[in-house]
Structure 1
């Protein structure tokens, strides 16, 4: 014996709902009241370009300009004719620390992504760090000279 299902399919449709205030609202009204303001937050380790070559070029330009000014200040300080009271290595160290932190910001961005950035970006950051380290060594030498003269 075969059973034949002669019942009509039923389609349930809800055309209205009641909100918290007790008002009945239809679905088209509800849809206009919905706000989609959700913001997607970037996930660590995304495969997305985080540092652009233009940013690195601008960073290199800014740091090179600052290092040129710092180098001239260091040269004046290393001149034996400059009195020790005119030498201020602390301010230059502060400038070098700021430059190092700006490089570290870009380095962190490069490290936070799985995107394969062009190798020149990393090379540029490494060279800039080396230039800053060289100037820090010169400043440390000047500080040592000043402290030896103050002890004498």
Structure 2
């Protein structure tokens, strides 16, 4: 569905997860959880979530709402990838950004345009990463960015290791 929606960038959409408790009871208006739960790990030490349609003591098993932790390994929220890109832009050296752009398969003309259009070096580096993210679409992941940073042509394994530590991507 995400790839289909990417073809229509102006289309607003909202993802919901229908409550399993309500579904089992066959309620005509089941409770819905916001789809954001599908991108988040299960809360620690929580075994059940309240359903507004349930009695006080009834809860929905947390495993029926949140995905298993292993399913989220290496997955970041959109805002987290953007934050990671900002951190990479800050840590890349003056001579690193073009090498990174080339390994990310950005055209030389794109790199020239970015350098011409933006004033500060940090903004140039960030815009280069944004350009990669736009062109790569769903393939623009933290893991792929870390692989590029660790590539011997780039030589910034230190930044890749920092991202792996901070965002728990092993």
Q: TM-score, normalised by structure 1?
A: 0.25
Query: Whose radius of gyration is greater, 1 or 2?
Result: 1
Q: Where is the helix percentage greater, Structure 1 or Structure 2?
A: 1
Q: TM-score, normalised by structure 2?
A: 0.23
**Looking at both structures, which has the greater relative contact order when contacts are Cα pairs under 8 Å and sequence separation is at least 6?**
1
